[in-house]
């Protein structure tokens, strides 16, 4: 059965809905991190397990919802968007933290989530659940690396920022041919985002891709200085 035709739901910047989404995301992230920062280690770990299961359930429900509503498609629903694959990595990272997953989430998930919340566009259309899941999944990929860094005291390895940027290039090389096979636009490699983006001042293919790459690299460099590496990582 062919998926229903859907139009992305765009939230205009500085509207009440935009402020509600970005404001609630920031407040919840800060509150949870501050609340658990000085808790016992076992409590911090137990919370990670609970959130991992919660995120997994939400991901499964979101997949079931899309299939039930007939809006699932290979053009939008595969875990080939950076935010989608990052959400899955964050789920496993909470359950059993790994250094490479933490570094992926720190240097790739945070910029992706930040841009998604700053310029929100719900790809599967308008709806209460779709809007809730959009902010849940995108704020989560910001929250998880911050929690692991601030609460669990994890640190990136030396040159992890370079490796993370290279991971992104490899991911782009995988997505590029698949976009032509599926007639999709994963990683925005075929066309620029329809919603206004403050970092995108060129919309001609392929030049806008280089602008996006430079903007992403700038985000990574900022994070590199905010979260410096240490020689020994536990």
* CA distances for 132 relative to 86, 139, 156, 195, 221, angstroms: 18, 11, 31, 19, 31
How would you class 57 by CB atoms within 10 Å of its CB: exposed for 0-12, middle for 13-18, buried for 19 or more? Answer: exposed
pLDDT at 152: 96
Within 10 angstroms of residue 36's Cβ, the number of other Cβ atoms is 18
- Number of domains making up the chain: 1
CB contact at 8 A, 184 and 174: no
Q: 58 in a domain, yes or no?
A: yes
The parts of the chain modelled with pLDDT lower than 70 are 1-5, 196-201, 231-234
pLDDT at 231: 56
pLDDT at 51: 97
Q: 51 in a domain, yes or no?
A: yes
CB contact at 8 A, 127 and 181: no
Q: 57 in a domain, yes or no?
A: yes
Across the chain, where does the E strand assignment appear? 9-10, 121-122
Q: 82 in a domain, yes or no?
A: yes
Which one, of 129, 123, 4, lies nearest residue 67 by Cα? Answer: 4
CB contact at 8 A, 126 and 9: yes
pLDDT at 146: 98
CB contact at 8 A, 145 and 217: no
Q: pTM here?
A: 0.92
Q: 234 in a domain, yes or no?
A: no
CB contact at 8 A, 216 and 118: no
Q: 48 in a domain, yes or no?
A: yes
Range of the domain at 148: 9-226
pLDDT at 233: 43
Strand 9-10 relative to strand 121-122, pairing: antiparallel
Q: 231 in a domain, yes or no?
A: no
Q: 2 in a domain, yes or no?
A: no
């Amino acid at each position: 059965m062919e998926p229903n035709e859907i139009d992305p739901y765009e939230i205009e910047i500085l509207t009440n809905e935009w402020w509600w989404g970005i404001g609630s995301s920031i407040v919840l992230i800060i509150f949870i991190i501050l609340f658990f920062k000085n808790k016992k280690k076992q409590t911090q770990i137990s919370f990670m397990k609970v959130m991992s299961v919660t995120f997994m359930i939400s991901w499964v429900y979101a997949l079931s919802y899309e299939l039930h509503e007939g809006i699932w498609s290979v053009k939008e629903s595969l875990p080939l968007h950076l935010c989608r694959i990052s959400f899955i990595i964050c789920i496993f990272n909470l359950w059993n933290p790994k250094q490479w997953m933490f570094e992926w989430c720190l240097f790739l998930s945070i910029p992706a989530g930040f841009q998604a919340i700053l310029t929100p566009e719900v790809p599967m259309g308008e709806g209460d659940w779709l809007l809730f899941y959009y902010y849940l999944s995108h704020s989560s990929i910001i929250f998880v690396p911050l929690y692991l860094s601030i609460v669990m005291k994890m640190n990136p390895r030396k040159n992890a920022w370079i490796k993370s940027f290279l991971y992104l290039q490899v991911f782009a090389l995988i997505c590029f041919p698949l976009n032509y096979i599926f007639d999709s636009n994963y990683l925005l490699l075929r066309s620029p985002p329809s919603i206004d983006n403050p970092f995108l001042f060129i919309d001609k293919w392929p030049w806008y891709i280089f602008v996006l790459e430079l903007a992403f690299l700038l985000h990574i460099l900022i994070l590199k200085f905010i979260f410096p590496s240490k020689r020994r990582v536990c």
